[in-house]
Amino acid sequence: MVQWQMDTGTVMHGVFGDPIKHSKSPIMHNRAFRVLGLNAAYAAFHILPGQLKDAVAGIRAMQFRGVNVTIPHKLEVMDYLDEIDEGAKAIGAVNTIVNEDGRLIGHNTDGIGYVRSLKEEAGFGVAGKKVLILGAGGAARGVSYALAKEGAAAVYIANRTVSKALELAEAVRPFTKSDGMGYESIQDVRDEVDLIVHNTSVGMHPNVDDVLIDTSWFHEGLTVSETVYNPLVTRLLREAEAKGAKTHGGLGMFIYQGAYAFEYWTGREAPVAAMREAVLEAF
């Protein structure tokens, strides 16, 4: 790897979120920049509610090349961008911003990153399968849309605020059968689903003992998938495994969504193996 230090030609990138201390994005992207010998850097920024508009203006003012957007800003950030690509528009959430000479363009790499990880790491083919999505925020939007586009037979969305689940189900319905519900209604569909995807921050570091739903009904033949990657194995996955279900952790989605973002910013193929290695070393 090339010896590198920041200078006046360094191209800046970052991630906006709240909380953000847990994020491994800086470690992952800075390793990728070093591996390819690029004069670029990536940092994490703790952007509180009410600060997002100013933070996005800062991307232009400070000429950052690109920024990732994470919880809870993926929906609101769309209000402050110049253009949103078709996929992100359909999803209704942005997790990647590219600065093209002061013009900020929003993309969503969550869904494509998730599906690639699900195929490669869990060997799960989505076509014809029924899916239960837990949560209805930015990550859930990307994942739901991508699974529907991959040919899922049905996408059920459960969320604490039922109106948000219904709204997301309506957005997914042009692509496949979809219904929204509260968590208490999961029992109505649980016997027909093949895949459960958890998309909230419940169980994420530091609250590693939390689990979102009752897992006593999990069974063999079910695949339980997580978008949380810190810790690598959440309580949800441990309980699923104990019930004989197949499990799929959130690390792959995190790495692939980052790889697609990296490619948008640099026009270079992301060094995925080095990115994964950097994140694993950081645990």
CATH class as words, domain 11-108+253-282 = alpha beta
* HSE-CB for 16 with a 13 A CA cutoff: 27
Q: Which residues are annotated as a binding site for NADP(+)?
A: 86, 135-139, 159-164, 227, 250
Which residues does the annotation place in the binding site? 23-25, 70, 86, 95, 110, 135-139, 159-164, 227, 229, 250, 257
DSSP structure string for the chain: -------TTPEEEEEEESS-TT--HHHHHHHHHHHTT--EEEEEEE--TT-HHHHHHHHHHTT-SEEEE-TT-TTGGGGG-SEE-HHHHHHT---EEEEETTEEEEE--HHHHHHHHHHHHH----TT-EEEEE--SHHHHHHHHHHHHTT-SEEEEE-SSHHHHHHHHHHHTTTSEEEEE-GGGGGGTTTT-SEEEE-SSTT-TT-TT--SS--TT--TT-EEEE---SSSS-HHHHHHHHTT-EEE-SHHHHHHHHHHHHHHHHSS---HHHHHHHHHHH-
Q: What per-residue confidence (pLDDT) applies to 2?
A: 55
| Mean pLDDT computed over 208-219 | 96
Residue with the two structure tokens 């990153």: 113
Predicted confidence (pLDDT) per residue in 54-84, tens digit: 999 999 999 999 999 998 999 999 999 999 9
Annotated binding-site residues for shikimate read 23-25, 70, 95, 110, 229, 257
Provide the residue ranges of all domains of the chain, joining segments of one domain with +: 11-108+253-282, 111-249
The alpha carbons of the chain give a radius of gyration, in whole angstroms, of 18
Is the pLDDT assigned to residue 1 strictly greater than 70? no
Q: Alpha carbon 44 to chain centroid distance? A: 16
- Active-site residue, from 21, 53, 74, 130: 74
Asked, colleague to colleague, whether 11-108+253-282 and 111-249 share their fold, the answer is yes
Mean pLDDT score, 153-174: 97
Average pLDDT, the chain: 96
- Residue 130 appears among annotated catalytic residues: no
How far apart CA 65 and CA 205 sit, in angstroms, is: 29
Instruction: Grade residue 35 by pLDDT with cuts at 50, 70 and 90.
Output: very high
CA dihedral 149, 115, 46, 26 (to 10 degrees): -140
pLDDT confidence of residue 143: 96
- Say which residues have a Cβ less than 8 Å from residue 97's Cβ, sequence separation at least 6: 56, 59, 66, 67, 68, 69, 77, 81, 104, 105, 106, 107
Yes or no: domain 111-249 corresponds to CATH 3.40.50.1370: no
In this structure, what token pair is assigned to residue 216?
A: 């006593």
- pTM metric for this prediction: 0.90
